């Protein structure tokens, strides 16, 4: 349906729709979400057929099994996506929240009140679930969204978006609230990034290349994030056995995501005991290691099959796989220094029994999420009680860490006087 529309038309329609959607009450937004969920389910055959075509085209093009898996929908996955969408109706609607209220000495009454951001543009890669997740969170927070998925998943996205727009029929929400750029020409992304007249926020969800491209080319504010070189520092006083379990969780529970662990820093006084135990435990899970010289020396000979010397860029690599960097440090200060140099400021933690070291670490490490005695895997909107997440920000403006519904809003000041003038 939107195939023939220009980027500017799509954006202008979105902005017009945003003017309406901002004022739709919660009950009606929730009803629309339920209608979309119903429609997605009733169109499951078309959606799964479109997805199957995407999958076979991708397979023919020789993409990796991991990518294929992310791309693939089946009835049960679609059902989960729909369940997640219905769950969004249960989240609190942030729009209208009163953030601050005060009466000034001159009698003016000030209210600072949440309003939707306006129009979001989300640029993402292979996963078709993002299409539905983002549509749901945008709609609930009163925002229109322009979706630009990867070309591998274009048939799935067209089918999903068509169902979403049909779901909106008969509701107060115009179909233009959720639009897909259904032409996969890459030049259109560049065009989209110039539409600052209509679009308020760009959220790239993908690799470093996509984020850099957006930051370099966008006239619209960009949320950068989703890249995590994450660290855990094992202090002298840490419970070693429990620390190994935390590291194991952070590394292997889901190695392909941004909050998975990349580097373990170990206090030198326990390294000789700790490192071999760690390597033994994690090698059983098929983890391999990149160790700097001091760590390597402590492991030497014993685990040569799984431990390699760390290369010059290994501590600046987000592994996204079962690889773990190992380094011995003299103490918490050097751990903090290493993190300042190598972290992407996503998620970093200390494992310690020493309150003072924990306090120092928490004060000095300037990452979106700083942990004491916990796995880095908790940096996640659902885990942190935000209900859901649209992205994880590793930049500093507007929002840091998981972004939920609140982070898709801004505010306005409402000021009431009695024909008040400034002296």
Which residues of the shown chain bind a copy of itself in the complex (CB under 8 A)? 19, 22-23, 102, 104, 108, 110, 115, 117-118, 196, 200-201, 215-216, 219, 221-222, 239, 242-243, 245-246, 248-250, 253, 340, 349, 351, 358, 362-364, 366-375, 377-379, 383-385, 395-398, 400-401, 410-422
By DSSP bridging, strand 288-291 and strand 307-309 are parallel
Beta bridge partners of 203: 122
Q: From the CB of 402, what's the least distance to a copy of itself, in Å?
A: 8
End-to-end CA distance of the chain: 56
Q: From the CB of 34, what's the least distance to a copy of itself, in Å?
A: 25
Helix ranges (H only) for 187-328 are: 187-192, 208-217, 240-252, 268-283, 293-299
Do the beta carbons of residue 192 and residue 380 sit within 8 Å?
Answer: no
Cβ nearer to a copy of itself, comparing 67 with 115 = 115
Do the beta carbons of residue 142 and residue 24 sit within 8 Å?
Answer: yes
Q: From the CB of 268, what's the least distance to a copy of itself, in Å?
A: 21
Q: From the CB of 238, what's the least distance to a copy of itself, in Å?
A: 9
The owner of tokens 């560049």 is 190
Q: The tokens of 86 are what?
A: 């219905």
* CB neighbourhood size of 196 (10 A): 13
Provide CB contacts within 8 A for 386, sequence distance 6+: 402, 403, 404, 405, 406
Q: From the CB of 68, what's the least distance to a copy of itself, in Å?
A: 26
Cβ nearer to a copy of itself, comparing 65 with 216 = 216
Q: From the CB of 41, what's the least distance to a copy of itself, in Å?
A: 29
Cβ nearer to a copy of itself, comparing 246 with 275 = 246
Q: From the CB of 57, what's the least distance to a copy of itself, in Å?
A: 35
Q: What is the CA radius of gyration of the chain?
A: 24
By DSSP bridging, strand 288-291 and strand 391-393 are unpaired
By DSSP bridging, strand 119-124 and strand 178-180 are unpaired
Query: By C-alpha distance, which of 192, 190, 161 is closest to 2?
Result: 161
Cβ nearer to a copy of itself, comparing 62 with 209 = 209
Q: From the CB of 391, what's the least distance to a copy of itself, in Å?
A: 13
Cβ nearer to a copy of itself, comparing 165 with 394 = 394
Provide CB contacts within 8 A for 31, sequence distance 6+: 171
Cβ nearer to a copy of itself, comparing 140 with 377 = 377
CB burial readout 52-90, b (16+ within 10 A) else e: eebbebbeeeebeeebeebbbbeeeebeebbebbeebbe
Cβ nearer to a copy of itself, comparing 294 with 340 = 340
Cβ nearer to a copy of itself, comparing 40 with 336 = 336
Cβ nearer to a copy of itself, comparing 118 with 206 = 118
Cβ nearer to a copy of itself, comparing 245 with 273 = 245
Q: From the CB of 377, what's the least distance to a copy of itself, in Å?
A: 4
* CB neighbourhood size of 360 (10 A): 18
Q: From the CB of 369, what's the least distance to a copy of itself, in Å?
A: 5
Q: From the CB of 152, what's the least distance to a copy of itself, in Å?
A: 28
In a 3-state reduction of DSSP, which class is residue 339? helix
CB burial readout 141-177, b (16+ within 10 A) else e: bbbbbbbbbbbbbbbbbbbbbbbbbbbbeebebbbbb
Cβ nearer to a copy of itself, comparing 39 with 243 = 243
């Amino acid at each position: 349906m939107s195939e023939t529309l220009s980027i500017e038309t799509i954006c202008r329609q979105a902005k017009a729709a945003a003017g309406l959607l901002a004022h739709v009450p919660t009950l009606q937004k929730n009803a629309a979400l339920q209608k979309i969920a119903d429609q997605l389910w009733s169109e499951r055959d078309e959606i799964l057929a479109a997805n199957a075509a995407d999958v076979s085209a991708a397979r023919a093009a020789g993409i990796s099994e991991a990518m294929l898996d992310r791309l693939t929908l089946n009835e049960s996955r679609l059902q989960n996506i729909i369940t997640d969408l219905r769950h969004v109706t249960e989240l609190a609607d942030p729009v209208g929240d009163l953030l601050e209220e005060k009466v000034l000495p001159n009698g003016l009454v000030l209210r600072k009140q949440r309003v939707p951001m306006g129009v979001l543009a989300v640029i993402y890669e292979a996963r078709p679930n993002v299409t539905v997740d983002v549509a749901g969170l945008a709609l609930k927070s009163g925002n229109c969204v322009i979706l630009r998925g990867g070309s591998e998943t274009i048939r799935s996205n067209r089918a999903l978006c068509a169902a979403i727009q049909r779901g909106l029929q008969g509701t107060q929400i115009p179909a233009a609230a959720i639009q897909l750029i259904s032409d996969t020409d890459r030049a259109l992304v560049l065009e989209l990034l110039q539409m600052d007249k209509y679009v308020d926020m760009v959220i790239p969800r993908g690799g470093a290349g996509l984020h850099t491209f957006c930051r370099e080319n966008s006239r619209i504010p960009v949320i950068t994030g989703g890249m995590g070189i994450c660290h855990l520092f094992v202090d002298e006083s840490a419970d070693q056995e429990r620390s190994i379990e935390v590291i194991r969780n952070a590394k292997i529970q889901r190695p392909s995501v941004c909050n998975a662990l990349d580097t373990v820093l170990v206090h030198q006084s326990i390294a000789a005991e700790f490192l071999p135990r760690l390597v033994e435990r994690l090698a059983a899970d098929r983890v391999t290691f990149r160790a700097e010289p001091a760590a390597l020396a402590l492991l030497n000979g014993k685990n040569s099959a799984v431990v390699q010397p760390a290369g010059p860029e290994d501590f600046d690599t987000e592994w996204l796989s079962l690889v773990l960097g190992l380094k011995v440090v003299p103490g918490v200060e050097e751990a903090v220094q290493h993190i300042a140099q190598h972290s992407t400021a996503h998620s970093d933690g200390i494992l310690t029994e020493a309150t003072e070291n924990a306090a120092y670490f928490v004060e000095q490490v300037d990452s979106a999420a700083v942990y004491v005695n916990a796995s880095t895997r908790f940096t996640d909107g659902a885990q942190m009680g935000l209900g859901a997440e649209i992205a994880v920000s590793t930049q500093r403006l507007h929002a840091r860490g998981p972004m939920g519904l609140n982070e898709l809003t801004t505010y306005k000041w409402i000021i009431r006087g009695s024909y008040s003038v400034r002296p």
